[in-house]
């Protein structure tokens, strides 16, 4: 018996020394993404302050760390920040969505190659949740650093990585990594209870993922100011005060219990919209019709890309605010819609009702700052039947659209377009400081001398 006891003890000791392999969640977040994209092709700006502006060069939507240090405010109007920007020689760029979209795809594709497509959830243009492979806790930090260095080497975009047992804690870890990039090396791992406690105690409730502005104010008024204080509330309290099941999930995630699953990217959208601000206020109905026709063409391309057809088209326009220094208010959005005779993805079959809707919305004498088109009631294009009572060529319009899409994709810049979209486009969005589209236009490629 003594020999058996000794053998059992030796066996237990053996299994105690075997590292336990677990799976963890991580979030990979590009650092100051728009600014990083601009710096990628402007190495001279590596340690200089950089900002990127929103549509029509209106507000600041991305700041480099150097721009944050000198006091440039996020989402602040560009014209107000201009004196500070000029004083510190800050590099300013208009939004370059072609460049940002392509570099975002490269970052996400790098993650898919490293971890497998099913383990990557694209959360936004510059963020992705990932399921890490099972590993010992001691290996997690090295693997997170491996992800960071690989993305930076393959794409040139720097990222921060937060790792934890749940999505919410991973977001908290990422927040900590970005708060002190030099000390953390842009990577933070929250696996141990003590690590989680220290992190959650330092994060204000308004900075916690999953807590919106309204709930943050509510919680602060209730005396809950940190993520740690929220984590220690009961599940029953969360159900009553934080939106039912959603609040319960948040509390459990903060305690290290995974409750928010990875989501597959939505391949088929249920509604497609294209909206833009005008470069300057528009008061001519013909200009508004040109803009709506252009937006309809773009929405129709998206519709065909997912092999769908629309039953309903909606159009809206937004009047410019009245310039009252005392009683300033935003103009209301004016909209209307029509149900199409049959579901379609043919551009000219969508443009015609769209511009007719503008006649219903437009009011002479007013200036307008924005317009948009939405396609809804989407069905698979295979559900569309041919019409025996129209010429055979009309039933082949889908092939014509495919030809247009292919030419426009290969040649770019709407080489083929409908006359209703106009030629001069005086209403076009203002992008006076846009950089070159280095990765998506042959004529704008980066030049090495």
Q: What pLDDT, in 10s, does the model give residues 116-175?
A: 988 999 999 999 999 999 999 889 999 999 999 999 999 999 999 999 999 999 999 999
Residue with tokens 């009961």: 234
In a domain, 292, yes or no: yes
In a domain, 339, yes or no: yes
Q: How confident is the model at residue 445 (pLDDT cuts 50, 70, 90)?
A: confident
In a domain, 52, yes or no: no
279-304 CB burial, b ≥16 within 10 A, e <16 = beebeebebbbbbbbbbbbbbbbebb
For residue 226, give the DSSP letter: B
Which positions ≥6 away from 328 have C-beta within 8 Å?
Answer: 321, 322
In a domain, 329, yes or no: yes
In a domain, 349, yes or no: yes
Q: What is the dihedral of CA 190, 191, 195, 196, to 10 degrees?
A: 70
In a domain, 181, yes or no: no
User: How far is Cα of residue 121 from the mean position of the Cα atoms in its chain?
Assistant: 12
For residue 19, give the DSSP letter: P
For residue 204, give the DSSP letter: B
Report the pLDDT averaged over residues 418-426.
Answer: 82
In a domain, 15, yes or no: no
Angle value at C-alpha 196, between 68 and 210, nearest 5 degrees: 65
Which positions ≥6 away from 226 have C-beta within 8 Å?
Answer: 200, 201, 202, 203, 204, 205
In a domain, 356, yes or no: yes
Give me the number of domains the chain comprises: 1
Give dist(CA 388, CA 379) in Å, integer: 21
Pairing of strands 379-380, 334-344: unpaired
Are the CB atoms for 355 and 289 separated by under 8 Å?
yes
Q: What is the pTM of this model?
A: 0.81
Residue 24 clears pLDDT 60, i.e. is over it: yes
Q: How confident is the model at residue 14 (pLDDT cuts 50, 70, 90)?
A: very low
Residue with tokens 């996400």: 108
Report the pLDDT averaged over residues 215-239.
Answer: 94
The CATH number for 382's domain is 3.30.1490.100
Largest Cα span, the chain: 101
Category of 75 on φ-ψ map: left (φ > 0), alpha (ψ -120 to 50) or beta: left
Give dist(CA 193, CA 257) in Å, integer: 12
At 74-130, the pLDDT tens digits run 988 999 999 999 999 999 999 999 999 999 999 999 999 999 988 999 999 999 999
Residue 15 clears pLDDT 50, i.e. is over it: no
Domain that holds residue 407: 272-421
């Amino acid at each position: 018996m003594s020999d058996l006891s000794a053998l059992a003890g030796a066996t237990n000791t053996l299994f105690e020394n075997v590292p336990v392999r677990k799976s963890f969640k991580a979030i990979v977040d590009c650092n100051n993404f728009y600014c990083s994209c601009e710096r990628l092709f402007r190495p001279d700006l590596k340690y200089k302050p950089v900002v990127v502006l929103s549509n029509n060069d209106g507000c600041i939507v991305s700041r480099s760390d150097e721009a944050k240090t000198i006091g440039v405010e996020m989402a602040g109007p560009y014209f107000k920040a201009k004196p500070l920007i000029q004083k510190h020689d800050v590099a300013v760029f208009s939004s370059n969505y072609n460049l940002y979209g392509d570099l975002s795809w490269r970052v996400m594709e790098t993650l898919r190659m490293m971890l497998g497509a099913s383990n990557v959830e694209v959360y936004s243009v510059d963020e992705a949740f990932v399921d890490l492979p099972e590993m010992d806790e001691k290996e997690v930090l090295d693997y997170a650093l491996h992800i960071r260095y690989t993305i930076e080497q393959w794409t040139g975009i720097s990222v921060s990585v937060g790792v934890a047992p749940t999505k919410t804690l991973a977001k908290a870890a990422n927040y900590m990594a970005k708060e002190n990039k030099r000390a953390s090396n842009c990577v933070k791992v929250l696996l141990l209870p003590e690590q989680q406690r220290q992190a959650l105690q330092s994060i204000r409730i308004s900075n916690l993922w999953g807590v919106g502005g309204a709930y943050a104010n509510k919680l602060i008024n209730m005396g809950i100011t940190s993520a740690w204080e929220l984590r220690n509330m009961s599940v029953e309290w969360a159900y009553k005060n934080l939106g039912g099941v959603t609040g319960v999930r948040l509390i459990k995630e903060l305690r290290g219990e995974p409750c928010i699953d990875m989501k597959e990217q939505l391949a088929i959208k249920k509604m497609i919209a294209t909206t833009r601000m005008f470069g300057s206020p528009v008061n001519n109905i013909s200009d508004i019709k040109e803009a709506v026709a252009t937006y309809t063409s773009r929405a129709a391309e998206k519709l065909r890309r997912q092999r769908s057809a629309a039953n309903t088209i909606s159009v809206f326009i937004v009047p410019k605010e009245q310039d009252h220094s005392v009683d300033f208010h935003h103009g209301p959005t004016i909209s209307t819609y029509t149900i199409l005779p049959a579901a379609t993805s043919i551009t000219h079959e969508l443009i015609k009702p769209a511009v007719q809707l503008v006649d219903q919305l437009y009011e002479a004498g007013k200036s307008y700052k924005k317009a948009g088109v939405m396609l809804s009631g989407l069905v698979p294009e295979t559900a569309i039947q041919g019409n025996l009572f129209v010429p055979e060529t009309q039933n082949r319009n889908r092939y014509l659209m495919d030809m247009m899409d292919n030419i426009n994709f290969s040649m770019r810049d709407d080489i083929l377009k409908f006359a209703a979209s106009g030629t001069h486009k005086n209403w076009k969005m203002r992008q006076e400081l846009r950089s070159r589209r280095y990765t998506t236009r042959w004529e704008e490629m980066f030049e090495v001398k």
